Amino acid sequence: MVYGELPHVFSVTLSEQAGIDGFKRDFAGQLARASEHADGVLVLCDLQSGTPWNVACQYAFSPHTTPPVAVLAGVSFPMLLQSEEIGDFTDVHIAADRLLALTLPTLVKAVPVTDEPSDDF
């Protein structure tokens, strides 16, 4: 792996074979594992309003979910790697805001280079 082990990262895959009900079961199981000894659980989804987002939000918006859950969409490789930097936060919603702030600068548009690169380092 590029970064090494991320011990507090769990994954759940939505597959055609398992379907939505299978995903819900798998998500509940991984959420239970991630919740052990945690102050909160941050769920990273590929896109907003998809099945993983909707399932995660059911937990995030439930007053009965313990520990609290926060959900971010638009997960990227830099976001996953930088998730290690928010491990010390005890409020998952503050951690989610921080991760979002850390990763926004990684979203860039390619533009042609118009200047010759400098030889100065």
d(CA 27, CA 13): 9
What's the confidence (pLDDT) of residue 60? 98
HSE-up of residue 88 (Cα within 13 Å, Cβ side): 1
- Tell me if 113 is assigned to some domain: no
Domain that holds residue 29: 19-106
Provide the CATH number for the domain around residue 83. 3.40.50.510
What's the confidence (pLDDT) of residue 72? 97
What's the confidence (pLDDT) of residue 30? 98
- Tell me if 78 is assigned to some domain: yes
pLDDT digits (tens, 9 = 90+) for 27-42: 999 999 999 999 999 9
Instruction: Report the number of distinct structural domains present in the chain.
Output: 1
Query: Nearest 5°: CA angle at 64, between 16 and 35?
Result: 65
